[in-house]
Amino acid sequence: MTGRSAQPAALHLSGVVLPEGGHRDLWVRDGRITFEPVAGAETVSRGGWLLPGLVDAHCHVGIGPGGRHVEDPVELREQALAERAAGVLALRDCGSPVDTRALDDDPELPRIIRAGRHLAAERRYIPGLAIELDPTDPAGLAEQVRVQARRGDGWVKLVGDWIDRERGDLGPEWSPEVLATAIAAAHEEGARVTAHTFGTDALPGLLDAGIDCIEHGTGLTEELIGRMAASGTAVVPTLVNVENFPSFAAAGEARFPAYASTMRRLYAQSGAVVRAAYEAGVPVFAGTDAGGGIGHGVIADEIRALHAAGLPAEAALGAGSWAARAWLGLPCIEERAAADLIVYDADPRADLDVLRRPRLMILRGRVVA
């Protein structure tokens, strides 16, 4: 653990508060924001734009290159610090094979909202990362869903599709009946459920079962997007990971040419899918899939990718800040909220590249950068 510098008893900042856009003074006392003046507060920032802390809504603290389990506390902390350096002050850990709760005791690290371990059908995911289950046993999946719901922070992660070696292409991992039982069990535990999907075939069963969120979602069709919009089901497109689809296709082409063709098609349509989802009213959030093949700390790249796909710059920024925080039950810059915010010298709504140059960060009421 690194040494921590002394912190003032109270802080004062002023600037344009986003997303509202008005210029305000605010104070931080006992780790919380107030708009009532605090005598003796130390002014740490004047001017600039004050943004609620960024959110990486899909990452994996505890997974290293090649799917390696990261058990070393120092390396775990480095992963979290890489996220913080990019302005990520909260992250949804969308499946990890290791217990990272020791990080919660470190006030210098982002807040982590966990989804427990991936749940996958036997031999249908990256070896060693998921708890693998009999896909024909609804009771077995439902039981493990309850276990992960109790271990997590209100989320459960299913693997909805993966390559099916018999068909040589992507295929669903679970029947609609098994999914319905599992997702009902999660909801009974008070947890939301999200699912990894690349292709199309797994999506109808997931939506029929009441899934709360889709990860990646490159196989979404117009009809499925309409269903998601009507039900409020969110999507986290992870476009920085989708950039790897051509290499996935090349790696599998010799044995699975149909799979390779599917992955190239999904890559080609990925931007149009995100744009159609946003325009239809589907909640879209920014997540990088960091951990494993994606390095931590690239949330700015994901926000820019959402904008390039067709989201207005302010909507793309919200997908990685205030909108994502509200979705995860986290406050923004408001009275009595936990003080997690970033100060920039320019308006990030006008230029998303500004996200790469934070002036100052306050996490849990402490200046950290």
The whole-angstrom separation of Cα 59 and Cα 61 is 7
Does residue 182 surpass a pLDDT of 50?
Answer: yes
Angle at 125 between CA 150 and CA 120, to 5 degrees: 35
Residues 85-94 have pLDDT tens digits of 999 999 999 9
* Tokens at 69, concatenated: 């389990």
Band the pLDDT of 1: cuts 50, 70, 90.
very low
The whole-angstrom separation of Cα 252 and Cα 194 is 26
Cβ atoms of 340 and 288 closer than 8 Å? no
Does the N-terminal peptide bond of residue 19 adopt cis geometry, omega within 30 degrees of 0? yes
pTM of the complete model: 0.95
Residues 302-314 have pLDDT tens digits of 999 999 999 999 9
Q: What pLDDT does 2 receive?
A: 44
Q: What is the mean pLDDT of residues 188-193?
A: 98
Q: What is the mean pLDDT of residues 51-62?
A: 97
Report how far Cα 57 is from the mean position of its chain's Cα atoms. 1
Cβ-based neighbours of 307, under 8 Å, separated by 6 or more = 313, 316, 352
Exposure of 235 in the CB half-sphere (CA atoms within 13 A): 34
Q: What pLDDT does 4 receive?
A: 56
Residues 132-165 have pLDDT tens digits of 999 999 999 999 999 999 999 999 999 999 999 9
Cβ atoms of 89 and 368 closer than 8 Å? no
Cβ atoms of 37 and 28 closer than 8 Å? no
Share above pLDDT 90 across residues of the chain, in percent, rounded to a whole number: 95
Q: What pLDDT does 292 receive?
A: 84
Band the pLDDT of 31: cuts 50, 70, 90.
very high
Q: What pLDDT does 65 receive?
A: 86
Mean pLDDT, rounded, of the chain: 96
Band the pLDDT of 22: cuts 50, 70, 90.
very high
Residue type, 99: D
The whole-angstrom separation of Cα 298 and Cα 287 is 9
Share above pLDDT 70 across residues of the chain, in percent, rounded to a whole number: 98
Q: What is the mean pLDDT of residues 48-67?
A: 95
Q: What pLDDT does 5 receive?
A: 58
The whole-angstrom separation of Cα 52 and Cα 31 is 14
Q: What pLDDT does 320 receive?
A: 98
Exposure of 119 in the CB half-sphere (CA atoms within 13 A): 30
* Tokens at 203, concatenated: 């999506």
Does residue 3 surpass a pLDDT of 50?
Answer: no
* Tokens at 70, concatenated: 């990261």
The whole-angstrom separation of Cα 90 and Cα 111 is 4
Higher pLDDT, 217 or 7: 217
List C-alpha distances in Å: 118 to 65, 159, 218, 220: 17, 7, 19, 22
Q: What is the mean pLDDT of residues 285-313?
A: 97
Full set of structural domains in the chain with CATH: 10-51+331-367 (2.30.40.10), 54-327 (3.20.20.140)
